[in-house]
Amino acid sequence: MDFEKLGSFYLGKEFDMKTNSLTDKLVMYDSRDLTTHAVCIGMTGSGKTGLCIDLLEEAAIDNIPAIIIDPKGDITNLLLTFPELTKENFSQWVDPDEANRKGMDIEEYAAQQAEMWKKGLADWGQDENRIKMLRENAEFIIYTPGSEAGFPVSILHSFDAPTISWEDDSELIREQIQGIVSGILGLIGVEADPINSREHILLSNIFEYFWSKNQNLDIAKLILSIQNPPFRTLGVFEIDTFFPKKDRMNLSMKLNSLIASPSFKNWLEGQPLDISGFISNKDGKVKHSIFYIAHLSDSERMFFVTLLFNQIISWMRKQSGTNSLRTLVYMDEIFGYFPPVSNPPSKKPLLTLLKQARAFGVGVVLATQNPVDLDYKGLTNTGTWFIGRLQTERDKMRLLEGLDTISASSNESLNKDQIDKLISNLGKRVFILHSVHAKTPVIFQTRWAMSYLRGPMTKNEIKLIMKDKAQEIKSSSTTKQLPTELSSDKITGSPPTISSEIQQVFLPLVKTPHLAIQEIKNKYQNEISFEEPSLIYTSGVIGKAIIHFQDKSIELKEDQERNLILYSSEFMNWEKSEEIRVQNFLSSPEGKAKFSEIPQNINDPKDFNELKKSFSDYLFYNSNFKLYYSPILKIYSKSNESKAEFILKLNQIARERRDEEVDKIEQKYAKEFEKLKLKLNKSQEVLMKKQASASSLKQEALLSAGESVVGMFMGRRSTRSASTAMNKYQKSKTISTDIDRAQKDIDLIKKEMESLENELKLQVETIKQKREKEINEIKEVIIQPKKSDIEIKMVSLAWIPKWQIYYNENGNKKMEMVAAYY
C-alpha cells in the first residue's frame, strides 16, 4: 500500500475546504519532524485524541516506543485492537451506557460498532494485516500509579540520586529537586513557594545534601532527616532557629501518616519508575506505556507527572544524540500542567524536555482544548501544530499570536487571515497541519483509527483487560522476601566489645517503624495490635569490591561494584552471601538500639583475614561481565545495559541508518524521475502541438497524469503528500501517425517511470529486511576477570538494622524482625 512508507506516518488525507470534500492525497508525516515536538489544539470533540492515537499507532508500527500520560482515560483504547473486527470482539468493550442511549442492547450495539469500524478502516485503506502489524510491533500496557487496576508503579526508588552528574548538571538537578519537593509537599497539603517556604527550603536542602554526595534518598530517610537534618545551618541561621524542632516533627509526622496509610502501599509496589522498563519489555519488544491517572487526586497527579517527567529527562540525557525519532512522550490533556502564568511543579521539567529532547530524538506531543492552557515559551519550541476547530475569538487570537512567533522564527510567512477564517469552519477530524519543516500548511482529515475509540475506560475495565498480563507484574515486583532470622540471637543493650583490628560499619536505616508495621499488617486480614518497634542491630559481614573489567580488543573498560553481605548464620561461606544495594556505610548506630551478640569466630582478626581471601576467590569465580554484541552492526553493549536496552539501541541505530539510506535512495531516484519528467514534458508538448485541434480537456488530463505519477515517487521531504491519483491519462484516439509516435514516446517514458518505481520499492524492501536482521542477530559475550582485576575495598563486620516488633494476632503474642536496611 502506498502509505506503508518507511519512516513516514500515515495521518490522513488532504481535505478540500472549497468543495468541502476529502481528496485522495495522502498526508504522510516524516517521523523525524516529531523530534521538534507537536501540539494538537482543538475544541472538545474535534478529534485531537483520535489524531494522536493515529500518531501513536504509526509510531508503534515503526517500533518507536512511547510514554503516554492519560489524564482522562481515552488512551487506554490503544489496547482495543481486533484484527478480525467481529461483533464478539466488540461486545465486551462497547460502552453499555452508550448502547442504552441509542436504545440498543449490547449485542446489537456491538454489531453496529464492529460494522462501523470495519467500514471506517476499509474506507481509509487499512486492513486486518495492518492491525496485526500494530499489535505485533509493540506491547501496550496500562499502568495505574497508586492502584492495582492496571499495572502498579513503584515510586520507591524515585528519590535515588540522579544518574546524571552533579558537577555537570547541578542546575538541572536543582530544578528536579524543586519539582519533587513541591510534589511531595502538595501530597501532604502544604502549598509551598520554593523561595519563601521553610518547608520547601528544608526539604530541598536535604535532597541536595544527599544527591550532591551521590547518595540515594528514600521516604524514610527523608522523614528521619527532617527530624534530624544532616546539616547544622540553613543559610546564616541555625537549623533550629530557622525551622524549630517541634514544627519539623509536625512536618515529618504528616509525611509519615501519608506513607503509613494503607492506600499508599500501592505506590510502593510494582514496576519501579525507571524509564528503560517502560519503553521495552524484557525481550526488547517496544512498549507503549500508558499511565492512567484519572483515578488520582489533583495533587497526586501533579506529584506523579512531575516525577515521571524528571525520570524521562534523566533517562534521556544518558542517550546518544540522534536525528531520528527514538521515543514519543505524549500527554493527552495538558490543562493545568503547563500554564502560561503560574508555575506548578510539572512546568519546569516539561519546558526542559521541550528545549532539550530534540537532540536525543525524543518527541513530545501535547494536546489541549484551549491554546490559553499552553505556556508561550513552550509553544515557540514546538515545530508542528495540528489545529482543529476553535470557536471562541479569544482562543483563535491566542493561537494566531502563537503562530506568529513560530513563523517569525522559521522565516515563513503565514496567511493569517486565511487561517483565521479556516479555524472556525473546520469539521470534525479536520486539522490544519502547520509545520516549520514544510513550506505551506496542509488541511487534512485524520485517518480512521485502528484502535476502537470507545472513550474512557473505567478502572474495572482496565483490570479486565490487563488481567492476562498480571503474571508479569508479579515477577517484576520489587517486594522482597525477608531473609530467615536466627531467633536464638542473644540481644544486649550495648554494642559487644570487638577486637580493635576489625573494622565495623553500620548499614543505614531505610525503613521507618511504620513501614515495618505495615509490612506485617499486610500479611493478615484481621485487626492486629502492635507494640512500639525497637531497633536492633544484628551482626554480619560485608564485603565490598570493585572489579575492573578490561579487554583492549573491544575497548572494554568497566568497573563493577559488588557489595555482598553474609548473615550471622552463614558466616565464612560467601556462597551464601547476598548482593545488596548500599552506597554509604555509617560509623555509628542511628538512634537508640540494642545489639545481637556476635559469634566467636567473627571476633578473631585471623578469621577475618581468611574471609578477605575467600572473598577475593569467590569474586574471581563468581563475577563476570556479560555483554551483548551485534555482529552486523559491530556494536557491543555498555555496562549495566540490559539486553532489552541493547536491542532498543540497535533498533535506534538501525532506524537512523535506514532513514539515511532511504533519503539517499530517494534523492538518487528523484534525480532520475526529474530527468524523466523533463522528457515527459517535452513529449507532451509535442503531443499537444500535434493535438492542437483536440479538446482542451484532453490536454489537461494528459498533463495532470504526468504530474501525479511523478508526485508519487518523490522523496518524503520534498513532497509531503503524495498523490495517488494515477492513470487518469486517457489514450489519445487520434490516428495521425505523428500523434501516435508522440504517444508511444510518452508510454515508453511512463513505463520507464513504472519500472523505476518498482526498483525503488525493491530497494526499500531490502532496506527493511536488512534492518530486521540487524536487530535480531545478537550474541552474548562473557568476560571473566583476572585475579588482578579484583580490588577489595573492605571486608568488615556489619551491623544490620532491624525492627523487632511484638504484636498480638487473634490472642497470640508474636514477634517478628523486619529488615530495616532496604
Interacting residues with Mg ion (CB under 5 A):
49
CA distance 155 to 507: 22
Query: Exposed, middle or buried, 737 (CB in 10 Å: 0-12/13-18/19+)?
Result: exposed
238: CB partners within 8 A, 6+ apart = 232
Q: How far apart are CA 126 and CA 118, in angstroms?
A: 9
For 281, left (φ over 0), alpha (ψ -120 to 50), or beta?
A: beta
> Amino acid letter at 722?
A
- How far is residue 323's CA from residue 522's CA, in Å, rounded to a whole number? 49
The DSSP line for 719-739 is -SS---------------HHH
| CA-angle at 715, arms to 712 and 716, nearest 5° | 95
* Smaller CB separation from ligand ATP, 50 or 65: 50
Binding site partner of 50, from ligand ATP, Mg ion, none, Cβ cut-off 5-8 A by kind:
ligand ATP
State the residue number with the nearest CB to Mg ion. Answer: 49
Q: How many CA atoms within 13 Å lie on the side-chain side of 270?
A: 24
Residue 369 binding partner per list ligand ATP, Mg ion, none, with a CB distance cut-off of 5 to 8 Å that depends on partner kind:
ligand ATP
242 three-class SS: helix
State how far the Cα of 171 lies from the Cα of 616, in Å rounded to an integer: 41
* Cβ proximity to ligand ATP, 45 vs 496, nearer residue: 45
Minimum distance between the CB of residue 365 and ligand ATP, rounded to whole angstroms? 13
Closer CB to ligand ATP, 82 or 448, in the complex: 448
| Minimal distance, residue 447 CB to ligand ATP, in Å | 6
Measured distance CA(632)–CA(769) in Å, rounded: 13
* E strand spans, 44-128: 66-70
- Considering the complex, what minimum distance in angstroms separates the CB of residue 76 from ligand ATP? 13
The entry of ligand ATP, Mg ion, none that residue 45 binds, CB within 5 to 8 Å by partner kind: ligand ATP
The item of Mg ion, ligand ATP, none sharing an interface with residue 429, based on CB under 5 to 8 Å by kind, is ligand ATP
Binding partner of 37, given Mg ion, ligand ATP, none, CB within 5-8 angstroms per partner class? none
Shortest distance, position 133 Cβ to ligand ATP, whole Å: 18
Q: Residue 48 or 511: which CB sits closer to ligand ATP?
A: 48
Q: Backbone phi, then psi, for 51, in 5-degree steps? A: -60, -45
Query: Cβ of 522: how many Cβ atoms within 10 Å?
Result: 11
Residue placing its CB nearer to ligand ATP in the complex, 50 or 284: 50
Give min distance, CB of 7 to ligand ATP, in A: 21
Nearest distance from residue 236's CB to ligand ATP, in Å?
Answer: 51
From the list ligand ATP, Mg ion, none, which binds 14 (C-beta under 5 to 8 Å, kind-based)?
none
Our CB check for Mg ion shows the closer of 333 and 656 to be 333
User: What nine digits make up the cell of 325?
Assistant: 525519532
> How far apart are CB 436 and Mg ion at their closest, in Å?
25
Q: Closest separation between CB of residue 80 and Mg ion, Å?
A: 16
Distance CA 19, CA 108 (A): 36
Q: How far is the CB of 587 from Mg ion (least distance, A)?
A: 56
Cα–Cα distance between 259 and 254 in angstroms, integer? 9
Query: Least separation, in Å, of the C-beta of 659 and Mg ion?
Result: 30
Q: Which does 487 bind (CB under 5 to 8 A by kind): ligand ATP, Mg ion, none?
A: none
> Which residues bind to ligand ATP, rule: CB under 6 A?
42, 44-50, 54, 120, 369, 429, 446, 448-449, 453, 455
For the CA atoms of the chain, what is the radius of gyration? 32
22 pairs with which residues across the strands?
15
CB of 52 to Mg ion, least distance (A): 8
Using the 8-state DSSP alphabet, how is residue 422 labeled? H
Work out how close the CB of 117 gets to ligand ATP at its nearest, in angstroms, rounded to a whole number. Answer: 8
Residue 73 or residue 229: which is nearer to Mg ion going by CB?
Answer: 73
Q: Are 486 and 804 in contact (CB under 8 A)?
A: no
CB nearer Mg ion, residue 49 or residue 539: 49
CB 6 within 8 A of CB 658: yes
Identity of the residue, 48 or 720, whose beta carbon is nearer to ligand ATP in the bound complex: 48
| Complete DSSP assignment for 129-176 | HHHHHHHHH-EEEEE-TT-SSSB-EE-TTTTSPPSS-HHHHHHHHHHH
Burial of 120 (0-12, 13-18, 19+ CB in 10 A): middle
Cell numbers representing residue 251 in the block: 512536618
Q: State which residue, 465 or 817, has the beta carbon closest to ligand ATP.
A: 465
| 23 versus 369: smaller Cβ distance to ligand ATP | 369
| CB of 429 or CB of 771, closer to ligand ATP | 429
Separation CA 387–CA 15 (nearest Å): 14
Q: Which residue is nearest to ligand ATP (CB)?
A: 50
